[in-house]
A and B are shown apart, each in its own frame.
Chain A
Amino acid sequence: MSARVRGSTDVMATTTDDAGGIDDVVRRAQRGDVEAFESLYRTHAAAIYALCRRMTGDEGESRDLVQDVFVRAWERLTSFRGQSSLGTWLHRLGVNVVLERIRSTKRDAARLIEGDDSTFGSHSSAPAIDASIDLDAALVHLPRGARTVFVLHDIEGYSHDEIALMTGIAAGTARAQLWRARRALMRMLDP
């Protein structure tokens, strides 16, 4: 089971496009109407922020990424055909933008998943977090690779195969990272 329907907030499920295709606001934005695009931004920005925040664990970086996602969305909007909801399309775009950012800030792209975990195991140095502290506070303490897989799978609902394609790691590696992330969260949230 994926923990959630893809897209972690309700706005992802509500669509600006009707069942028959693309609604008028999206169509106007596709034709270059910036005011229409602003309306789309105001509808979807919170959901994209939540995605970025959980994947990066950093508020400032998340705000930068929200900007990047919507600038990219503007550039790519003509390729949106209304086969999925705009929220789903934006969400996928957001995941890609965040993964690209993570890769570009790593000296070695392979470390996206494999790296920075040497101290992350059954005797992790991650602090035990009081049970009252929320999941998002605990997520910050996960290594970036494990956090990425955990957020994509358990929160955003992507399959291991999809995660493998998006990140370039093997599905088995993604599965192992997920298990390690869950174990670490268990220790932090319920020590």
Chain B
Amino acid sequence: MTSLETHLTEDERQSFADDTMSPEQRASAEAHLAACRSCADDVARLTTLMTRIRETPAPSPTVALDDLWPTIRARIEQSKVVSLPADVPAVRRFSPRMWWFGSIGGVAAAVLIGMAVMRGRPTGPGDAVGPGTTPNAGEPSLIAVVDSAHAYEQEARILLDKLELRRAMLRPETAEALARDLHVVDVAIAELKEAVARDPNNPALRRLLATSYRQKVDLLKRVSNAS
């Protein structure tokens, strides 16, 4: 609480200038400022600075940013090329901090392989919907898949939001590996969702989709705990 005899603290001056004081604190500070020229001058200068910050336009580049696009595009195209196993060095350094990246990478690869297998596989006798049959979006199996997917997506979203706040604390190589692995799993999930929509009663596809969702959530949990 501010009194008329004691000068405002640095906290009070800064909070007054950036308008983060409670109404009661502000009223008390205003009473002091009305009687203390020293504090009033200082707060006025801080307030002027805050106004200047608000009114300053964002900096513009001296060279057009369009020039950067070809390089960005080249890097994007490069990232689309998937390395074959032969490109992997025979001896790979492996640190405990990275073990989960290896495991999720393996899971992502398994998911992708599973998808490739399912694409080439004719619908089995146990499948309720045969080839050429139009899926019925109202069937219980599809509803269950959609509900389950929503639950996983919600959990993954919460974890991602938490992780975003901590992302800058991750080592750069860890953050890059995480982004890469999440991308692989997200692409796999997107393709599996499309496959399930086309063939909603295929149990193998549904299992694969559930597995990839679960692995994504597990990965995010591990990274959150590690960070």
Min CB distance, B136 to chain A, in Å? Answer: 25
Min CB distance, B81 to chain A, in Å? Answer: 13
Interface of B is mostly: helix
Residues from chain B with Cβ under 8 Å of A154 in the complex: 18, 50, 53
Asked if B76 contacts A74 (CB within 8 A), the reply is yes
Interface of A is mostly: helix
Return the CB mask of A30-67 against B: 1 if under 8 Å, else 0. Answer: 11101001100110011101100110000100110011
Asked if B179 contacts A75 (CB within 8 A), the reply is yes
Asked if A78 contacts B187 (CB within 8 A), the reply is yes
Chain A count of residues within 8 A CB distance of the other chain: 60
Min CB distance, B155 to chain A, in Å? Answer: 13
| Given A3-B18, A78-B183, CB of A66 within 8 Å of CB of B68 | yes
Residues from chain B with Cβ under 8 Å of A170 in the complex: none
Name 12 A/B residue pairs within 8 A (Cβ), A-sorted. A3-B18, A4-B54, A8-B58, A34-B77, A66-B68, A75-B79, A79-B182, A81-B153, A100-B167, A135-B56, A136-B56, A190-B45
Instruction: Using CB atoms and an 8 Å cutoff, list the residues of chain A in contact with chain B.
Output: 1-4, 8-9, 30-32, 34, 37-38, 41-42, 45-47, 49-50, 53-54, 59, 62-63, 66-67, 70-72, 74-76, 78-79, 81, 83, 92, 95-96, 99-100, 103-104, 134-136, 154-155, 162, 165-168, 178-179, 182, 185-186, 189-190
